[in-house]
Structure 1
Amino acid sequence: MAKLLVIDDDRAARRTLELAFQAQGHEVFAGSTIAEGKELWIRHEPEVILLDLVLPDGTGQDLLLQATEESMSGIVIMITGHQDLERAIVAMQAGAFDYIHKPLNIDELEITVDRALEYLSSKRNLAIVADLSSHEPDDRIIGTSRAIIEVHKMIGMVSRGNANILITGESGTGKELVARAIHRHSTPDEPFIPVNSSALVPTLLESELFGHERGAFTGAVRDKVGRLELAGNGTLFLDEIGDLDLSLQVKLLRVLQERTFERVGGTESKPFKARVIAA
């Protein structure tokens, strides 16, 4: 099971969370202040941190920013009162996975922790796959069946131009291989930038795609170049496009129509020159 850290100055709430998650088999650590919580966080490296927004020596948002700056691992779930909704939203922008309102609903919190652990597991698996893929000597499509020959023909046809492309097919059938083949036959010397739309939480994905300006939101301590900009004159591959948040789909549609975009918090229009391949 997982290691959880509870940081809450409410003794009763802290004890309730300890007992609830220990009953599920998790190893639970608990602190009541930012200083104590940070020490436990560094020492035990928990997978999930349940962090109260208001603490005696500061705010949970302060600790979240420190953790981000110091690359402390773990997924943060904020605990907040209804009156702190605006600050909770800011905390989400700073990297929190989710937030739960007080009074606590243990069933709701358990579901949220399970989602956080599933997300963490997926993220680790993706990192393993990416590492294995980086050692692959070749990513070419292998096969001589009529269907594969037709796929090769289609790759050749679409590689002649720069039209945006949607690749459909069941999971595991090689949609990214096809996307990489199209890129290799059209703009091999330009970047191929993959984005897994389901691997990033919506609050982070907009910044990953568009980039952001320093000060765009709490925690944005420096300018960030997004994937749209990194793609240059090459290919932006949007995998699992159907999982993309609807508001981001609207913004991407505008990018495809106008061929320009702005960083989060920015006002300067930047040209978008890459081909988009979605799957």
Structure 2
Amino acid sequence: MSLPSSNASNLNPNTLTQYQAFSVLVVDDEIGMQAILKKALGKYFGKVSSAGSVEEAETLRCNEHFDLIVLDINLPGRSGIEWEEAFNECDRKADVIFMTGYADLEMTISALKLGASDFILKPFNLEQMIQAVLRCMDKRLDQRMQYALKRDVSRHIKTEIIGNSDKTKQLKLLISQFAPSRASVLVEGESGTGKELVARGVHEASKRTGPFVPINCGAIAPELLESELFGHTSGAFTGAKKNREGLFRVANGGTLFLDEIGEMPLPMQAALLRVLEQRTIRPVGSEKELSVDVRVVAATNRNLQEEVEKGHFRRDLFYRLNVLKIDVTPLRERPSDLIELVPYFTRLLSS
């Protein structure tokens, strides 16, 4: 069985970046098969672990998060189909691809009833396995994108920045210069100056393939903000009837826009700082760390430097966010932009 050499190189680099946040567990009692799949899948995913039995795999699963499990049915001890914990997980469930060399119709039906994403017969072409794995992960990415679009559709705004004043030209230049970087961006400006427009501009110019996910930190109750950003498990708190993926995971491969960051409570500031430092999150009620690849753009109508001096905002978080800074000036300081803005809004309102 040979490793495919062209798959990774044929994929969009941004797509590969999104895959890097996923983790895979290979469960097979053949050491050779473990090695082959770890090498092949390691080209796509940030973490690929392996185990030789259900018992060993369950130990790993209890201590780490896996988005996908590639599972042999015929294993020493419990078979793959008897690994009930993997299918009845109260925490976020992994996708499962079964593989076996001794399949019959009854076994196939049992696997599908358990909720298997795919079923592959041995010996298989490695290309077949890679495509099955990528289909599972693409489905997850699509679900996140659809959730982000559904959440954002009611507030979607035009991303074109109108105006040719010197200050607007400088603003557009900063957006184009900052966009390719993965560093955090802090956008400061008065209310109504278009900070979200700037954040969207940074995201679109960055060519990141994940979604743009906005959240107003001042519009959500402090006790719910952690769950909104990081997600939660079923039963994590009163009213948490099912698992929920947080906005950091929804925005994976894309941009998370934290509007009104100055309104964020100090305890949440500490949690956000940890995410920016470690690039991992922990859903409320879970012990598992989940890796994320998210660019953070934060905005505020306050002077965060002054808020730091007053003790209202963490100094270390301010430095983490203030890597790249964009000041958005109010329209009264760039009146020449009205020459283009007035016709633009006239057309918009009359259409």
2:294 aligned with 1:274: yes
2:220 aligned with 1:195: no
Contact kept? 2:185, 2:297, Cα under 8 Å: yes
C-alpha distance in structure 1 between counterparts of 2:199 and 2:263, whole Å = 18
Q: Which residue of 2 aligns with 1:261?
A: 281
Match for residue 233 of structure 1 among 253, 258, 261: 253
Match for residue 252 of structure 1 among 262, 272, 287: 272
Q: Which residue of 2 aligns with 1:37?
A: none
Residues 104-253 of structure 1: pairs in structure 2 closer than 5 A: 133-134=155-156, 136=157, 138-253=158-273
C-alpha distance in structure 2 between counterparts of 1:131 and 1:190, whole Å = 16
Contact kept? 2:230, 2:248, Cα under 8 Å: yes
> How many residue pairs were aligned?
148
**TM-aligned CA distance change 1:217 to 1:179, over 3 Å:** same
CA distances 1:83-109 after superposition (whole Å, capped 9, x unpaired): xxxxxxxxxxxxxxxxxxxxxxxxxxx
The CA deviation at 1:202 is: 0.6
The CA deviation at 1:218 is: 1.9
SS of alignment partner, residue 167 of structure 1? strand
The CA deviation at 1:133 is: 3.9
The TM-score, its normalising length taken from structure 1, stands at: 0.51
CA distances 1:51-107 after superposition (whole Å, capped 9, x unpaired): xxxxxxxxxxxxxxxxxxxxxxxxxxxxxxxxxxxxxxxxxxxxxxxxxxxxxxxxx
Q: Unmatched 5+ residue regions in structure 1?
A: 1-129
C-alpha distance in structure 1 between counterparts of 2:208 and 2:271, whole Å = 28
Which structure has the bigger radius of gyration? Answer: 2
Q: Unmatched 5+ residue regions in structure 2?
A: 1-151, 300-351
C-alpha distance in structure 2 between counterparts of 1:278 and 1:212, whole Å = 23
The CA deviation at 1:153 is: 0.6
C-alpha distance in structure 1 between counterparts of 2:160 and 2:155, whole Å = 12
The CA deviation at 1:224 is: 0.6
Q: Which residue of 1 aligns with 2:106?
A: none
| Structure 1 stretches of 4+ moved >3 Å | 130-134
RMSD of aligned C-alpha atoms? 1.4
C-alpha distance in structure 1 between counterparts of 2:249 and 2:153, whole Å = 24
CA distances 1:144-188 after superposition (whole Å, capped 9, x unpaired): 000000001100110121111101111110110000000001135
SS of alignment partner, residue 195 of structure 1? strand
C-alpha distance in structure 2 between counterparts of 1:243 and 1:133, whole Å = 20
**TM-aligned CA distance change 1:258 to 1:188, over 3 Å:** closer
C-alpha distance in structure 2 between counterparts of 1:180 and 1:265, whole Å = 32
The CA deviation at 1:205 is: 1.1
CA distances 1:189-210 after superposition (whole Å, capped 9, x unpaired): 3210101001111111111111
C-alpha distance in structure 2 between counterparts of 1:156 and 1:131, whole Å = 25
Residues 10-25 of structure 1: pairs in structure 2 closer than 5 A: none
C-alpha distance in structure 1 between counterparts of 2:180 and 2:298, whole Å = 18
C-alpha distance in structure 2 between counterparts of 1:216 and 1:188, whole Å = 32
The CA deviation at 1:231 is: 0.4
C-alpha distance in structure 1 between counterparts of 2:281 and 2:226, whole Å = 12
